[in-house]
Structure 1
Amino acid sequence: MCGIVGYIGKREIKSQLIEGLRELEYRGYDSAGIAVMQSGKIDSFKAVGKLTNLDNKTKNFLTDGLGVGIGHTRWATHGKPTELNAHPHMGDYSYVVHNGIIENYREIKSELENCGVNFLSQTDTEVIVHLFEKEYEHYKDTFAAFKATIERLEGAYAVLLITQKTPDTIYFARKGSPMIIGKNSENEVFFASSDAPLIGEAKEVAYMEDGTIGYATPDSIYTEPHTLQFVPLSGDKLTAQKGGYRFFMEKEIYEQYEVMSDTMIGRVLDNEISFEEIDENFLDGISRIKLCACGTSYHAALVSSYLFERLSKLPVQVEIASEFRYKEPLLTKDTLFIVISQSGETADTLEALKMAKHAGLKTLAICNVDNSSIVRLADTTILTRAGIEKGVASTKAFATQVMVLWMLSLYFGKRCGVLEDSQINKELDAIGHVPTVLKNALDIHEKCKRLSKRYLHGHGFFFIGRDIFYPLALEGALKLKEISYLHAEGYPAGEMKHGPIALADAELFTIALMPKTLLYDKTKSNVEELSARDSTILAISPEIFDLADDFILTHNHNHPMLEFFEMMVVEQLLAMEIAIRLGNDVDMPRNLAKSVTVE
């Protein structure tokens, strides 16, 4: 995920910006840059790689007195990680930094090129600064030009822009990508894409709402159409980083729709999936896939086994890493070995990867942490871009793993020649709707909070589902176990009558995943069997189910994966609210660690 910082004040601006970017390093990046304006003059510096390279480039540059500055850490999406593609991007007299994706940038770029504008980079971001300067020629007013520019943009963005036409001002806009503004009693103004750079600097912060646009000077901050609501920023880094949420887990559930966009950026194109990380010939000689992971990542692997066989027509085997190491597995070189890990340090998964490497298999890692052990060892890596996840019970890491695997199944299907264009377009259309589905699913939070008080006792939970909703049932049960310490099991819905249904009674809670787009009637029959044995039923479905004791109504969707992601959020919220009512620390559940570095 890219990171943004901005500053208005009298401190040494370069150091202020770079230190702010350092607080955002955890998000991952491959280049960085800053632009500083004093007395109407702009100096800009960029470097590929880590911030130490930017430090070296700017070691002889210092500021003194009032000025403004913007900075950015970039994760390459449109265009390779080069200095030309790094932010800030410049026009004739303005600079811009941007997080997100401009979906209609090709149209705008073509229009500007026809007007004689020369582009230096391969990015979508550069169109913003050139469009702004073109609009300024028309309006002769900087804010009017900035508003006209933002109105043209389609997609998700957080934007900071500075221009020599108004040397003491930073213009900003936010839609679908986070942006925070802070201030203090010294008339300093701060911008950042998360709390971390603002702690210890700003006394008050405002979390911009979607659609906010405005500008800041040393004397004032103006926004429209939303008014900024400033709240005190805690000096405690952990508390402040929660952004007003009760727990990191809650914050991370709410971040899922934003990080999902980051996961998709540069990979979901108009008519195909693209992974720059994978060489053109990577699949040569591959006729099967073996996935290996632990815990939540194992559940993501199980989901993908349905998707790979359905969309790529490749046989798939899923292994629990801790078992795989000791079963003397048969490893053939026509197998692509995929490991999945949030931290990249999971000991069992790392050892399984070493076995696959030793056997001469091609290896692919799906991971959230760059430069981790698994990333360094695998032949190639796809980063999930979920950002730092502090809650021990994984939420957004799981969501982004599933998304990467879904995209990968499409990518393989196209490369293997087994998918028609119409099928690919149908899947791409569904993928494009996932961030909105994740955001809308949050509307059910209050219902989950109210229902949670009815599920604090009893002798256990069954989470049941079919097809891809079976691994989701496993994941829902795991979430509940991890943070509430209540017994829960996930089962394929059709397996209940093969033994588990013997446990059914009024004190057994059944969480039934009943998607309308996939095997609804079959699942309904299985739930009816449990209801007949007096099990207490909580149905999660877009279709009203009369026999349910409790019901969470989801939205109607036209694709099973959209139902999957909405029900995933419901499971996460329900588990969290039950655990909170029980008085548990959901971020640090007993006996668990975030990164399991021992077998």
Structure 2
Amino acid sequence: MCGIVGCIGCENIVDYLIEGLKELEYRGYDSAGVAIKDKNEIKVIKAVGKLKNLEDKIKKVKFKKPKYGIGHTRWATHGKPTEINAHPHKGEFSAVVHNGIIENYQELKKKLKKDGVEFISQTDTEVIVKLFEANYKGDAKEAFKKTIKMLDGAYAILLITKKAPNAIFFAKKGSPLIVAKAENGFYFASSDAPLIGYANEAHYLEDDEWGWVDNEIHLYRDCEVISPYFKALPTNKESAKKGGFRFYMEKEIYEQFEVLKENTLGRNTKEGIKFEEVDKKFFEGINNIIISACGTSYHAGLVGKYLIERDAKIRVNVEVASELRYREPLLSQDTLFIVISQSGETADTLETLKMAKKAGLKTLALCNVDNSSIVREADKTILLRAGIEKGVASTKAFATQVMTLWMLSNYLANKNEYYAINEAIEVTKVDTSLHEKIKRLSKRYTKGHGFFYIGRDIFFPLALEGALKLKEISYIHAEGYPAGEMKHGPIALADPDLYVVALLSKNILFDKTKSNIEELVARDATVLTISSEYIEMTDDFIRINETNHPMVEFFEMMVITQLLAMEVAIRMGNDVDMPRNLAKSVTVE
């Protein structure tokens, strides 16, 4: 979701802002802009669409002596994606960029309008800069402090003003923001990626921290002066490059083999599963588990439910975080609360974590981003080690989430599946001849009135995930269903223009799933079966390796469904890395 960058004291301000915003493109955006303090003027340049549009506009602007600047990629929440609604938003003498949502902006806007303040956008963000200027009474620091105290909701804010001509103001609450220190100045960003190569260490702002930078950092928590805690930044930027692949998503699908080896390194041993992050004492007294997540992470949680209940004999409920946070769930002290998030900033998931902490539950996060809000909030964290994932449609993060849950199931059950786990990693190595076959098959699956993905047991969540991948990037309607549920209504849709992807495990309910496939074939649905056993009656067939473990089948089918979704979307001419209306890190409700 929206991305923020900023810098002061750096040599090439415009270059950093543009390059930084490019590093944040993966989050999803519909417009972008920069505000640059140039001599005595704040120059604001904005554009709708791709960053190329912003770059073209900036090239036409003559800068005399730029001192510092802020930039933003916007994903619309309030107001349509237009240049007026794009960030930065400007007042008479200030400009601001903001991630998050100001919940009381209507109330503040109404009051400001009554005082004669004019607004030009439909956004909540414009309220911040107009409120700051209304609060300014000769001291910019006091005006900023007063402004953020009046805001309700989530925010990461950078603000510049002519009234403090050598400073960038910042504030963080519920939305990520990082300040990094370099020899030549300070850099801001909403994630690590834009900072790599410009600075070596960074302070990851906590909620309610605010302040400003000039030739040093002035940091506060509420009214208390605090010292920044600088940590080393990552140094490897190459992992975020495409590496010769057509799309980041394609690269990330191919990376899963190496990523899963990294994920299991030191954890999956011949003596059993070992986690440095947690020990057995942490799980003492636990009789129930609640898993809270959204989207792809929710599907991973459903796989975890099957595995943990079957192996560890612990009751597991998997909850959609956006629903759980507004219910009044029964949270007992013998419950372990697990949250799953790729970014560690998923707003709904983070709120359920805070709810569980407030109720006194033990909390565990499965997350890909160290120092993220969820990691800092949880009692314990098992990092996914998936590396930077730029494709909006998650692939390798999902693979590491499921693998981590499988290892956790082994850990809780005192079970050792060392060889099966290694076998599952091996089958994620993409076979290029198989990929070519899927490319050719994709021609058949670009029309029709929709898809059903069907499976049983752990293959039902994989059916949900396969359908989600397809609809995210191809914009074709797709649903995941338990195979046995088709005859309870959905089979009414069966005809030659209904496409069915059948996940047929040789190790779990083979005959029953095969029978469900036969029911669809009999009603003329177009069926693609993925299985180790050839099914002659279906229209298309993709063979997987013979194995005696369903999780090995799971990981091989996972790669196939990812490749199929990608190839169908490419065949339709879509940008699979940045699908419409979606964002990588969903930091608002």
Answer whether TM exceeds 0.5 for this pair: yes
Residue 410 of structure 2 is aligned to residue 410 of structure 1: yes
Q: Is the 8 A contact 1:441 1:566 kept in 2?
A: no
- Structure 1 residues 144-163: Cα deviation after superposition (integer angstroms, max 9, x where no partner): xxxxxxxxxxxxxxxxxxxx
Q: Is the 8 A contact 2:348 2:588 kept in 1?
A: yes
Question: What runs of 5+ residues in structure 1 fail to find an aligned partner?
Answer: 1-23, 25-195, 200-236, 415-423
* Pairwise CA RMSD: 2.0
Deviation at 1:197, TM superposition (A): 9.4
**Which residue number in structure 1 is paired with residue 80 of structure 2?**
none
Out of 569, 576, 580, the residue aligned to residue 566 of structure 2 is 576
Q: Distance in 1 between matches of 2:361 and 2:390?
A: 33
- Structure 1 residues 88-129: Cα deviation after superposition (integer angstroms, max 9, x where no partner): xxxxxxxxxxxxxxxxxxxxxxxxxxxxxxxxxxxxxxxxxx
Counterpart of 2:576, as a letter, is V
**Which residue number in structure 2 is paired with residue 209 of structure 1?**
none
Q: Secondary structure at the match of 2:323?
A: helix
Q: Distance in 2 between matches of 1:293 and 1:580?
A: 29
Counterpart of 2:324, as a letter, is F
Residues 261-410 of structure 1 correspond to what in structure 2 (within 5 A)? Answer: 261-410=261-410
Q: Distance in 2 between matches of 1:239 and 1:413?
A: 35
Q: Distance in 2 between matches of 1:497 and 1:327?
A: 32
Q: How many residues align?
A: 359
**Which residue number in structure 1 is paired with residue 259 of structure 2?**
259
Residues 541 and 308 of structure 1, relative CA distance in 2, 3 Å threshold: same
Q: Distance in 2 between matches of 1:442 and 1:515?
A: 23
**Which residue number in structure 2 is paired with residue 477 of structure 1?**
467
**Which residue number in structure 2 is paired with residue 591 of structure 1?**
581
Deviation at 1:238, TM superposition (A): 9.3
**Which residue number in structure 2 is paired with residue 487 of structure 1?**
477
Larger deviation, residues 394-403 vs 548-557: 548-557
Q: Distance in 1 between matches of 2:505 and 2:433?
A: 18
Q: Is the 8 A contact 1:466 1:519 kept in 2?
A: yes
Counterpart of 2:505, as a letter, is P
Deviation at 1:498, TM superposition (A): 0.4
Identity of aligned residues (%): 70
- Structure 1 residues 362-418: Cα deviation after superposition (integer angstroms, max 9, x where no partner): 00000000000000000000000000000000000000000000000110112xxxx
Q: Is the 8 A contact 1:442 1:569 kept in 2?
A: no
Q: Is the 8 A contact 1:441 1:570 kept in 2?
A: no
**Which residue number in structure 1 is paired with residue 497 of structure 2?**
507
Q: Secondary structure at the match of 1:512?
A: strand
TM-score by length of 1: 0.58
Q: Distance in 2 between matches of 1:442 and 1:343?
A: 30
Q: Is the 8 A contact 1:337 1:364 kept in 2?
A: yes
Counterpart of 2:466, as a letter, is G
Q: Distance in 1 between matches of 2:469 and 2:348?
A: 21
Q: Is the 8 A contact 1:538 1:548 kept in 2?
A: yes
Residue 486 of structure 2 is aligned to residue 496 of structure 1: yes
Deviation at 1:435, TM superposition (A): 2.1
Deviation at 1:518, TM superposition (A): 1.2
**Which residue number in structure 2 is paired with residue 447 of structure 1?**
437
Counterpart of 2:465, as a letter, is E
Residues 297 and 462 of structure 1, relative CA distance in 2, 3 Å threshold: same
Runs of 4+ with deviation above 4 angstroms: 196-199, 237-240, 440-443
Deviation at 1:440, TM superposition (A): 5.0
Residue 519 of structure 2 is aligned to residue 529 of structure 1: yes
Residues 353 and 197 of structure 1, relative CA distance in 2, 3 Å threshold: closer
Residues 364 and 549 of structure 1, relative CA distance in 2, 3 Å threshold: same
Q: Distance in 2 between matches of 1:445 and 1:557?
A: 21
Residues 534 and 516 of structure 1, relative CA distance in 2, 3 Å threshold: same
Q: Distance in 1 between matches of 2:264 and 2:439?
A: 31
Q: Is the 8 A contact 1:441 1:569 kept in 2?
A: no
- Structure 1 residues 149-196: Cα deviation after superposition (integer angstroms, max 9, x where no partner): xxxxxxxxxxxxxxxxxxxxxxxxxxxxxxxxxxxxxxxxxxxxxxx9
Deviation at 1:442, TM superposition (A): 5.3
Q: Work out which structure has the larger RCO, using CA pairs closer than 8 Å and 6 or more positions apart in sequence.
A: 2
Counterpart of 1:509, as a letter, is Y
Deviation at 1:459, TM superposition (A): 0.3
Counterpart of 2:515, as a letter, is S
Q: Secondary structure at the match of 2:560?
A: helix
Out of 506, 510, 519, the residue aligned to residue 516 of structure 1 is 506
Q: Distance in 2 between matches of 1:478 and 1:288?
A: 28
- Structure 1 residues 323-365: Cα deviation after superposition (integer angstroms, max 9, x where no partner): 0011111100100000000000000000000000000000000
Q: Distance in 2 between matches of 1:587 and 1:272?
A: 37
Q: Is the 8 A contact 2:240 2:390 kept in 1?
A: no
TM-score by length of 2: 0.59
Q: Distance in 1 between matches of 2:279 and 2:445?
A: 49
Q: Is the 8 A contact 2:239 2:387 kept in 1?
A: no
Out of 405, 422, 434, the residue aligned to residue 432 of structure 1 is 422
Q: Distance in 2 between matches of 1:535 and 1:240?
A: 41
